[in-house]
Amino acid sequence: MTKRPLVLLDVDGVLNPVRRHSLWLRHHECVLDGQTYRILLNARHGRKLAALARHTGAELAWATTWEQHANVEIGPRIGLPQLPVIKVNSDPGSRAGEHFKTRHVAEYVARRPFVWFDDNLAAPDWQYLQDHPGVDEFLLVDVDPRTGLTDAHLAQARAWLADRARPGLDGAGAPSG
DSSP 33: T
Residue 53 reports pLDDT greater than 80: yes
Residue 153 lies in a domain: yes
pLDDT at 23: 83
Residue 174 lies in a domain: no
Q: Which amino acid is present at 63?
A: A
H-type alpha helices, 31-72? 44-56, 69
Return the higher-pLDDT residue of 28 and 19: 28
Residue 177 lies in a domain: no
pLDDT at 16: 97
Residue 145 lies in a domain: yes
Assign residue 145 the CATH number of its domain.
Answer: 3.40.50
Domain encompassing residue 108 = 6-164
pLDDT at 90: 79
Residue 151 lies in a domain: yes
Task: Say if residues 57 and 42 touch (Cβ distance below 8 Å).
Answer: no
Residue 170 reports pLDDT greater than 70: no
Residue 175 lies in a domain: no
Residue 175 reports pLDDT greater than 60: no
Measured from the Cβ of residue 160, the count of other Cβ atoms closer than 10 Å reads: 19
> What Å distances lie between residue 126 and 12, 84, 89, CA to CA?
20, 23, 20
Non-local (6+) Cβ contacts of 9 within 8 A are 15, 49, 60, 61, 62, 63, 64, 70, 83, 117
Residue 23 lies in a domain: yes
Q: Give the model confidence (pLDDT) of 63-118 as tens digits.
A: 999 999 999 999 999 999 999 999 998 776 667 788 999 999 999 999 999 999 99
Q: How high is the mean pLDDT of the chain?
A: 90
Residue 147 reports pLDDT greater than 60: yes
Non-local (6+) Cβ contacts of 24 within 8 A are 42, 43, 44
Categorize the per-residue pLDDT at 6 as very low, low, confident or very high, splitting at 50, 70 and 90.
very high
Helix (H, G, I), strand (E, B) or coil at 38: strand
Task: Say if residues 47 and 153 touch (Cβ distance below 8 Å).
Answer: no
In whole angstroms, give the CA distance from residue 118 to residue 157: 12
Q: Which amino acid is present at 8?
A: L
pLDDT at 171: 41
Categorize the per-residue pLDDT at 174 as very low, low, confident or very high, splitting at 50, 70 and 90.
very low
Residue 144 lies in a domain: yes
In whole angstroms, give the CA distance from residue 28 to residue 131: 39
Count of domains forming the chain? 1
Q: Which of 157, 151, 109, 152 is CA-nearest to residue 133?
A: 109
Q: Which of 152, 104, 111 is CA-nearest to residue 125?
A: 104
In whole angstroms, give the CA distance from residue 134 to residue 103: 10
